[in-house]
Amino acid sequence: MDIRGLFESDVPRADLPRYVAPLPEAIENLGLNLAWLVVLVNLAGTAFGFYYYRFQFQITPVEMWPFVPDSPAATLLIALALAAWKLDRPQAWLTALAFFGNIILGGWTVYVHFAYWDAFSYLHPAMRQFLIWSHAAMVVQAFLLHRIGDFDPRAVGVATLWYTVDTVVDYFIPVRGDLHHTLIPLERDAPVFLGADALGVAAAGAVVLLIIAVYLSLATHIEKQRTGAV
């Protein structure tokens, strides 16, 4: 395949509005043609993420570990979703979970870095830039998934259920031990802005991004039905 061929694909692409399919078709095609590379990059990110969360695992009861590695779980999900598709065994529920995870956790990490900008000054500038841009890339890659899945209501229901439970356990109800959100660089009751404390700001971002993921996934399904792609 020549270089130009990397930007072309036989995978059908529905004529969707920009708000649910913001990436140029050529970029989507590139991502699909390099799907195995995307899988490997996400697996590497997953490994780094589990290492990054090692201290949080140490202070969390073992039975609650599934709620700890938020971002690495999301990158693992998209790696599995793309791999399943490449192996001709796509799973609608897995694709929906991957979409939700990368929108919510990728977006949340970028959001909190800006919301707590000064508090993150302890990070090396290179590490901080890596965290911001790598998580922004998670949001970008989520918009590949409309090419391999239809986001049917049952699959969206599975993803909504999981990430609702995850959000509740992370920020609102400590089922076992403490709340399980990703550690933030401020005391939870530290004032941040608009009268909100640090925990409230983090929780608000997670809830809003969950709502956005639900809306975008269902809107994609509706738009694909409108165009006859479903």
Q: What is the DSSP string of 26-88?
A: HHHHHHHHTHHHHHHHHHHHHHHHHHHTHHHHHTS-GGGGGGS-HHHHHHHHHHHHHHHHHTT
pLDDT, one tens digit for every residue, the chain (230 residues): 568 788 989 999 989 999 999 999 999 999 999 999 999 999 999 999 999 999 999 999 999 999 999 999 999 999 999 999 999 999 999 999 999 999 999 999 999 999 999 999 999 999 999 999 999 999 999 999 999 999 999 999 999 999 999 999 999 998 888 899 999 999 999 998 878 999 999 999 999 999 999 999 999 999 999 988 77
Q: Which residues contact 193 (CB under 8 A, 6 or more apart)?
A: 115, 201
Residue 83 corresponds to which amino acid? A
Looking at the chain, the number of H-run helices and the number of E-run strands are: 8, 2
**Distance in angstroms (rounded) separating the CA atoms of residues 53 and 141:** 23
pTM: 0.95
> CA 193, CA 51: separation in Å to the nearest integer?
32
Tokens 């933030």, located at residue: 184
d(CA 210, CA 113): 18
Q: What's the pLDDT score for residue 176? A: 86
Cα(27)–Cα(181) distance, rounded to whole angstroms?
A: 33
Question: Three-class SS of residue 191?
Answer: strand
H or E element at residue 106? helix 92-115
What does the pLDDT read at residue 175? 86
Rounded Cα distance, 197 and 192, in Å: 5
Residue 95 CA to residue 92 CA, distance in Å, equals 5
